[in-house]
Amino acid sequence: MERGALAVGMLGWLALVAVAAYGLIVLAMYLCQRNLVFLTRPEYAKPSAVGFPEAQEHVLDTTDGERIVTWLKPPADAKRPLILMFLGNGDNLGIAAPNLRAMGDDGSGVLAVAYRGYSGSTGAPSEAGLREDAEAAYRLAASLVPPERIVLFGYSLGSGVAVPLAARHPVAALVLFAPFSSAVAIAMQDYPFLPVRLLMKDQFRSIEVIDKVNVPILVLHGEHDQVVPIPFGRELYAAAPEPKRFRSLPEADHFTLFRDGGIGIMRAFLDEFGLR
């Protein structure tokens, strides 16, 4: 009898320890979540120092008091678009410079945004903060060219910035490389043992606003993408209104879309709709 009671007591104690340990894990994940969601790259560089001398640095003031670094290469003429580029999570302007230069080597303009906390921009990132960064960049773009020449481009995390911006403002087109339906959906897949939907602060629910986008949409995804698996891009595409185009690259992963033909696919898409 005493031995049975002891075993029951031990099991109860172990259960309490397990619950407490789980609670600590949940608390730690909640408190540290932005360090996991945003892989900030604060390193600052001038465009000319990383092989993009055609670009000029512009520092923008956001409405909430931050200063955001952007790089601008103006369009070569009045017929070329201005591509407003929102980078991926682990990118910064210096890392992305070769792709940015390649995007503009046909005469298109490029305006690339360093989110707060990245590439010398002040502040710390959050979904609300990135929305303010996007608004500041859009204001600059709209001061340079009419809205019908602004092409929004979102890569990975940047898709979660570009989609709602396109839903709020007039633009010419929306280009998405490796987009997700929502960041919370990816987190739920990666952390199935956590109540992610309740805990996550920055959920980037693109799928809930993409139906408000009324311009041509291109979704490009690599079939070997293990960061944002292609079903997330297909789900977002299915929710998007026409006109829209989906392209998959059979050999590409999350990091090789530009190298494996993404820029050419984007240009063909813009040509199809008379935007280049």
Structure confidence at residue 168 (pLDDT): 98
pLDDT given at position 50: 95
Confirm whether 230 is domain-assigned: yes
Counts of helices then strands in the chain (DSSP H, E): 8, 8
In a domain, 188, yes or no: yes
243 in a structural domain: yes
Burial class (CB in 10 A: 0-12, 13-18, 19+), 32: exposed
Range of the structural domain that residue 180 is part of: 38-272
Q: In the prediction, which pLDDT does 9 show?
A: 58
| Position 26 in a domain | no
pLDDT digits (tens, 9 = 90+) for 99-129: 999 999 999 999 999 999 999 999 999 999 9
Whether 13 is in a domain gets the answer no
What pLDDT shows up at residue 30? 80
Of residues 262 and 18, more confidence is placed in 262
Q: Write the CB contacts of 217 (distance below 8 Å, at least 6 apart in sequence).
A: 173, 174, 175, 176, 210, 237, 240, 241, 243, 244, 245
Axis crossing angle, helix 127-144 with helix 159-168, rounded to the nearest 10: 60
In sequence order, the 6+-apart residues with CB closer than 8 A to the CB of 133 are: 62, 66, 68, 113, 115, 116, 121, 161
How many domains does the chain divide into?
1
pLDDT tens digits for range 244-269: 999 999 999 999 999 999 999 999 99
Strand 56-61's sheet: what is its strand order?
A: 56-61, 67-73, 109-113, 82-86, 150-155, 173-177, 217-222, 244-249
Pairwise pLDDT comparison (78 vs 8), residue with the higher score: 78
Q: Can you tell me the mean pLDDT for 13-41?
A: 78
Q: Active-site positions?
A: 156, 225, 254
Domain contains 30: no
What's residue 32's pLDDT? 77
What's residue 7's pLDDT? 56
Quick check: is 99 in a domain? yes
- The tens digit of pLDDT for each residue in 168-226 reads 999 999 999 999 999 999 999 988 888 889 889 999 999 999 999 999 999 999 999 99
DSSP annotation of 235: H
Q: What is the CATH number of the domain that holds 209?
A: 3.40.50.1820
The residues, ordered by sequence, that sit 6+ positions from 154 with a Cβ below 8 Å of its Cβ are 86, 160, 161, 162, 163, 174, 175, 176, 177, 179
Summarised one tens digit per residue, pLDDT across range 147-184 is 999 999 999 999 999 999 999 999 999 999 999 999 99
Residue 153 falls inside a structural domain: yes
For residue 240, pLDDT over 80 is answered with yes
Instruction: Count Cβ atoms within 10 A of the Cβ of residue 8 and give its class: 0-12 exposed, 13-18 middle, 19 or more buried.
Output: exposed
Q: 2-17 pLDDT, tens per residue?
A: 665 655 556 666 777 7
